[in-house]
Chains A and B, each alone.
Chain A
Amino acid sequence: QVQLEESGPGLVKPSQTLSLTCTVSGDSISSGNSYWSWIRQPAGKGLEWIGRIYTTGSTNYNPSLKSRVTISVDTSKNQFSLKLSSVTAADTAVYYCARQKIQLWLSNDSWGQGILVTVSS
């Protein structure tokens, strides 16, 4: 059974770069059967898609965040990462990593538990 786990700092200062890593177990990013996504949820609000990456390194980003987002993959460690630059308080949210399974019509069938990232000085 696939498991995803987010890791990274829970507190980031305004204007700095938020960096998170998602470690995948029970599935291989290199298998090519899925895309690997980042999704966030600000407190009291809905889910927001940030972007995704494929094993080849090909990425898609939310246009509203595209200028600040970088998603990368390390297949040797079976991990993928998120960097969000120039953060503000509006970027405070629970950040989830998720698998987007091609076989399941590109639905996000497995999610990490989420990590709360607070942007504050």
Chain B
Amino acid sequence: QSVLTQPPSVSGAPGQRVTLSCTGSSSNIGAGFDVHWYQHLPGTAPKLLIYGNTNRPSGVPDRFSGSKSGTSASLAITGLQAEDEADYYCQSYDSSLSGSVFGGGTKVTVL
């Protein structure tokens, strides 16, 4: 059971917008700790998509955007493309555990 809760799967047609949620608690996201998002394709290294809740590293398309409110965070993918099919993980810091925590991951399927 992950400290951060993500839906196991989300799907959408090409061109559509999908939103992935990441729900935490008062000891992590709700405490003001930053949320980061990663894209993970099987057999490859995870890739940083969003850092500090809303910031995109250089090279990440602006189709990806992050937001945070209260004890939750979200990753939005607009103009969904076949290459976006992957697992997505959120990450934050938890003060009660004194360390990083990940969500269980959301598998995005492009229909």
Cβ–Cβ contact A114 & B57, under 8 A: no
Inter-chain CB contacts under 8 Å: number:
69
B46–A108 contact, CB under 8 A? yes
Interface of A is mostly: strand
Contacts of B93 in A (CB 8 A): 106
Interface size class on chain B is 20 to 34
Interface residues on A, range: 20 to 34
**B111 at interface, CB cutoff 8 A:** no
B residues contacting A by CB (< 8 A) are 2, 34, 36, 38, 40, 44-48, 51-52, 55, 57, 89, 91, 93, 97-105
List 15 contacting pairs A-B, 8 Å CB cutoff, sorted by A.
A47-B38, A49-B101, A49-B102, A60-B99, A62-B97, A104-B55, A105-B52, A107-B36, A107-B52, A108-B36, A108-B46, A109-B51, A109-B57, A113-B45, A114-B45
